[in-house]
Structure 1
Amino acid sequence: MKINVIFYSLYGHNHKMAEAVAEGAREVKGVDVGLYQVEETFTPEILEKMGATEYKKKFGHIPVATIETLTEADAIIFGTPTRFGMMVAQMRAFLDRTGGIWSKGELIGKVGSVFTSSSTQHGGQESTILSFHTTLLHHGMIVVGVPYSEERQKILTEITGGSPYGSSTITGRGHGSRQPSENELGIARFQGRHVAEITKRLVGE
């Protein structure tokens, strides 16, 4: 059984979340997990001006996702920062190239799930995941979130991301000064494991 985690990250937060999601998925026996990033559309000059160059180098070794990264998998877990309440342009550009496999129905019946990040506590995390689901549903995918059996999304003792729609992290302002908390990473690991368990039931392994 194959699960691919596909993310976009600028300052490393979604990379850390993606690693945690992949870690959780690997806890399920018989699951092969791949980790990919979508192609960068910013030029090196723009990345330098944004102060992102050094961050990007830390996960530059991770391969870039292709259309085959989608079709080969039984489940796909996507990670994207939020930009004004929606997915980033880099992820949108990747998904906009999937018209060919949409017309052939090649993602129908595959499991899809989403995680995200924002710089502020109410910065569009839920709207980003919910609007992302629209694309998954157009492809005929089975959408899986994070049920409330994951108790970490219920805590009130600290500020944290995480919702029934998917795991998330709050990055803070200024190049994302806040790193994912252990609570947020725990929800991400749960999401990966939960998706793997659901997918295993569906494919009958």
Structure 2
Amino acid sequence: MTKVLVLYYSSYGHIETMAQAVAEGVKQVDGADVSLKRVPELVPEEVREKSGYKIDQAGDVLQDVSELENYDAIIVGTPTRFGNMTSQMRNLWDQTGGLWFNGSLIGKVGSAFTSTASQHGGQETTLTSIHTTLIHHGMVIVGVPYSHSGLNNMKEITGGTPYGASTITDGDGSRLPSENELDIARFQGRHVTEIAQKLHG
């Protein structure tokens, strides 16, 4: 059984939706087991309520970073904050020094997906910043190859990069993930899982 963790942070639900699509892709692979988990929130509840955060989201909160070593692949999803991952996601990975010291994640598959408010809002820098952290852990990075035709979609404004799936939310968060973006996310989940099976099967 190939164990895959889809680990995400979402403020308004866009990355939650993408994470669910990634998990759907994992489930398409025979012999795969997927866990959908969130990183702990750092923003006080009253601030979240005033800001319109989506409070009720899918998956349990990851309580202990030591759990990360139980998976063959970890697919990380976070919105962009100034071209980088959110502080919530960064805070979790900053607690993984013990895993790094013990080499606990070496050889596991790592991948990433993200969202931005605008078309050129830092999707690729966010994805590669996540890759940098995963590479320091010795993980094998898997993106989205151009065998997925959705990366070449020029008929509409769309996210989706060779570095990972992505979505564009608009400045007010009114744009939800498109079918093309969700299809890329599902492909990513399936592709990462298939690679993990080859490495760990």
TM, length-normalised to structure 2: 0.97
1:67 aligned residue = 65
Alignment deviations for residues 105-145 of structure 1 (CA, whole Å, 9 cap, x no partner): 00000000000000111000000001111100100000000
Runs of 5+ consecutive residues of structure 2 not aligned to the other structure: none
- SS of the equivalent of 2:145 reads coil
CA contact (8 A) 1:4 1:69 kept: no
Report Cα offsets for 1:126-169 as digits up to 9, x if no partner.
00001111100100000000000010010100000001000000
1:14 aligned residue: 15
Alignment of 1:203 onto 2:174? no
2:179 corresponds to which residue? 182
1:38 maps to 2:21: no
Q: Equivalent residue of 1:137, what SS?
A: helix
CA distance, structure 2, for counterparts of residue 47 and residue 88 of structure 1? 15
Partner of 1:198: helix, strand, or coil? helix
| Equivalent residue number for residue 173 of structure 1 | 171
- Identical amino acids, percent of aligned pairs: 57
Aligned length: 199
Residue 56 (structure 1) aligns with: 55
Equivalent in the alignment of 1:27? 28
Root-mean-square deviation (CA, aligned residues, Å) is: 0.8
In 2, Cα distance between equivalents of 1:41 and 1:181: 29
Q: Please list every run of 5 or more consecutive structure 1 residues that lacks an aligned counterpart in the other structure.
A: none
Partners of 2:182 and 2:121 lie apart in 1 by 19
In structure 2, what is the equivalent of residue 123 of structure 1?
A: 121
C-alpha contact 1:14 1:116 (8 A) present in aligned 2: yes
The Cα offsets for residues 17-63 of structure 1, whole Å up to 9 and x where unpaired, read as 000000001100000000000000000111022111xx222x1x521
Q: Which residue of 2 aligns with 1:111?
A: 109
Q: Is the 8 A contact 2:66 2:99 kept in 1?
A: no
Q: Distance in 2 between matches of 1:5 and 1:121?
A: 24
TM-score (norm 1): 0.95
Q: How many angstroms apart in 2 are the aligned matches of 1:144 and 1:70?
A: 17
Distance 1:128 1:5 in 2: 17
Measure the CA separation in 2 of the matches of 1:160 and 1:153: 9
CA contact (8 A) 2:158 2:167 kept: yes
Distance in 2, matches of 1:69 and 1:18, equals: 19
